[in-house]
Amino acid sequence: MGVKQRKRSRRRWVGITVGLFVFCGLPVSCVAWGAYSFSEAGSPQPVDCGEALAYGYAVLPVSTRDATCTYAHWQDSYVEAEFRMPADEVAGWLEATYPAATVSEGGRRLHVEFAPASGKAYEVGVTVTDEGGGTAHVRFVAYDH
């Protein structure tokens, strides 16, 4: 009878250990994971510029230089790209990329809204700044909400 009692005692301790893990350890690990995820949420991360512009229904111009692109996500996804390109190519690129959009402020600002689609931006904004010397600085922002 002593062996059966030890087996029961062992089973009881295994049950208690599993129970403590389920009722204490699992919630604590979920809270720790949530805190880590929340701390990283919304932090801009570098992303491939081709992917960044594709999110906003655009293609990175071939003549682009100094391109930097970031992606942030928490409740919304937010992509930002900045690059330089020849100033005389900007109007053609905008027309080819967003043919139905209205460009304002002398061809320097554009805002487009799209129907919701999975994995794509709902809104895109483009701001162009002339830097002189035939170069334009383009800031591209795309996001969903």
Looking at residue 21, its pLDDT comes to 76
How many Cβ atoms sit within 10 Å of the Cβ of residue 136?
Answer: 21
Q: What's the CA gap between 72 and 40, in Å, rounded?
A: 10
The CA distance from 8 to 142, in Å, is 62
Over the chain (145 residues), the average pLDDT of each successive run of 10 is 65 78 73 63 85 94 94 88 95 90 78 86 93 94 89
pLDDT for res 27: 74
How high is the pLDDT of residue 128? 94
The model's pTM is 0.70
Q: How far apart are CA 121 and CA 110, in angstroms?
A: 15
Residue 84 is which amino acid?
R
Q: Which amino acid is at 72?
A: A
pLDDT at res. 34: 64
pLDDT at 54: 95
Distances from the Cα of 53 to the Cα of 97, 134, 141, angstroms: 10, 23, 9
